[in-house]
Structure 1
Amino acid sequence: MLLTIDVGNTNVVFALVKEGDIVARWRIATDPRRTADEYAVWLHQLLELEGFARSDVDTVAIGTVVPRALHNLDVLAQKYFGVKPLVAGQGAASWPIMLDVPEPQSVGADRVLNAMAAHALHPGDLIVIDFGTATTFDVIDYDGAYKGGIIAPGINLSLDALVAAAAKLPRIAIAAPADDSLVGRTTETQMLIGVYWGYVAMIEGLVQRLKAEIGRPVKVIATGGLAILFDKHTGAFDAIEPDLTIQGLAQIAAGARA
């Protein structure tokens, strides 16, 4: 089986992929100081709880936007799974798509993996929106080439900055407002309206502008944990694909085996 490791700025997501299907997944807070031994103890217990053993894993594929975390994950793969990991964008796991931007080396691995997976699932021109620590909008043309995109603060990051900068504002949880009114009656509801509907407006406005610039029919694909939350209140998305990054890592592994 394939073990994929998606290292984001906030969480590391581990997933087991068997014959193209995700059969288990776990997440842990990103900490570049976490050692291979710590990962191994945590992961071994979770594998057993799901009925798997370390010996079931014969391939490890890593995609990371946190370079400092890579060394300990490389040690994890070699010491505890007995395999040299595939690192997305390097060596046998080099990108199979064109990065049509001036500085291709600066594009985050997660964004390229999302582009690969989205193109495999949906033909034609695409906009992929990933709701993570940052919210990214990526443009992929009908040939599958990555053309560039937009980076905006993630909604939780925006809310954290607001609370940190304003002494009297309370910390609130991100959720859809109870109704469609834009007139908040309490501080908490005013904050929620500003953050949530402000974010919906940003999504819709940027998608509209991107579509106008591309000038051809475009399908919008959303991914990331908060995509479903926004899908309830906007018609901007054509499809929700929650596992694009994992699917991209699976493609990388399949290509390296071929």
Structure 2
Amino acid sequence: MSEKLEVILVDIGNSSIKTTEVVKGEFLDTVTWKNLEEILTNYKDIPLMVSSVKEIASGTLIGHRAHVLTHQSPLPITLDYNTPETLGADRIAAAVGANELFPETHNLVIDLGTCITTDLIDSSGVFRGGIISPGLKMRMKAMFNYTDQLPDISEEWQGIDSAELGKSTKECLFSGSFWGIVHELNGVIRTLEKDFTSLNTILTGGDAHFFESKLKAHIFAGSKIVQKGLYRIWKYQ
């Protein structure tokens, strides 16, 4: 199988490291790893296209055919961003993936992970900017960490009643975290639709499936949007 692999797409996030093998343009199953070293040991002499939200230690990739995505990489989209050196590689890859899937369309990519990133790529393929806000567990953890009395519900929230108005402190914490995100995102979508008509909304990230049915927009669930972008960028090099 390894002789047929075109490239290994490596997505290093805040809470996980994932790879996706590409064979003749087809994406195989995504695998989760403990660390980058495991990947380098498993995939020798195979090109790697890497997106990382963390700094990769100097010398780690020496001897490997690896391209680490940055704002300086040749890209099939334009970055209209005042500090491109601070723009996360995952956000760049997702923007490219959205533009690849839906060209000549205004695309809003919402990545619901540790943090929530909301990025707009217009119909001309220009990255217009975005929003970063706390993710679901981060909101729950913050209320616990910055108060004396509030409990930590970050590991039990799925068992808490989901009504918008809570009848207990835990229910109120859940409502503020979960429904706060729902109303935040619906507000962002509604505001952007005024200037970007026929806005296409793409959800991705580990928590995306919890919110898909709650947002008032035409939603495309893009579980591999980052990988699609990485592959497009790799081909563009």
| Separation (CA, whole Å) in 2 of partners of 1:35 and 1:226 | 23
1:132 CA displacement: 1.7
Structure 2 equivalent of residue 112 of structure 1 = 92
Q: Does 2:180 correspond to 1:175?
A: no
| Separation (CA, whole Å) in 1 of partners of 2:159 and 2:96 | 31
Q: Does 2:89 correspond to 1:89?
A: no
Contact 1:175 1:196 in 2 (8 A): no
Structure 1 equivalent of residue 168 of structure 2 = 186
| Separation (CA, whole Å) in 2 of partners of 1:71 and 1:24 | 29
Structure 2 equivalent of residue 127 of structure 1 = 108
Q: Does 2:57 correspond to 1:74?
A: no
Structure 1 equivalent of residue 230 of structure 2 = 249
1:28 CA displacement: 4.1
Structure 2 equivalent of residue 13 of structure 1 = 18
Amino acid paired to 1:253: W
Q: Where is the helix percentage greater, Structure 1 or Structure 2?
A: 1
Q: From the superposition, tell whether residues 103 and 23 of structure 1 become closer, same or farther in structure 2 (CA, over 3 Å).
A: same
1:227 CA displacement: 1.0
| Separation (CA, whole Å) in 1 of partners of 2:9 and 2:36 | 18
Identify the match of residue 202 of structure 1 among 171, 184, 194: 184
Identify the match of residue 58 of structure 1 among 38, 46, 51: 46
| Separation (CA, whole Å) in 1 of partners of 2:53 and 2:111 | 14
1:193 CA displacement: 1.5
1:177 CA displacement: 5.9
TM-score, normalising length: structure 1: 0.79
- Listed as ranges, the gaps of 5+ residues in structure 2 are none
Contact 1:177 1:192 in 2 (8 A): yes
| Separation (CA, whole Å) in 1 of partners of 2:197 and 2:192 | 10
1:222 CA displacement: 1.0
- Listed as ranges, the gaps of 5+ residues in structure 1 are 45-53
Percent of aligned positions with the same letter in both sequences?
Answer: 25
Structure 2 equivalent of residue 47 of structure 1 = none
Q: From the superposition, tell whether residues 73 and 249 of structure 1 become closer, same or farther in structure 2 (CA, over 3 Å).
A: farther
**Secondary structure class of the residue paired with 1:16:** strand
TM-score, normalising length: structure 2: 0.85
Residues 70-96 of structure 1: CA deviation (Å, up to 9, x unaligned) = 536514xx3xxxx320121377x4222
Q: From the superposition, tell whether residues 126 and 14 of structure 1 become closer, same or farther in structure 2 (CA, over 3 Å).
A: same
Structure 1's consecutive aligned runs of 4 or more residues displaced over 4 angstroms after TM superposition are: 176-179
Q: From the superposition, tell whether residues 242 and 5 of structure 1 become closer, same or farther in structure 2 (CA, over 3 Å).
A: same
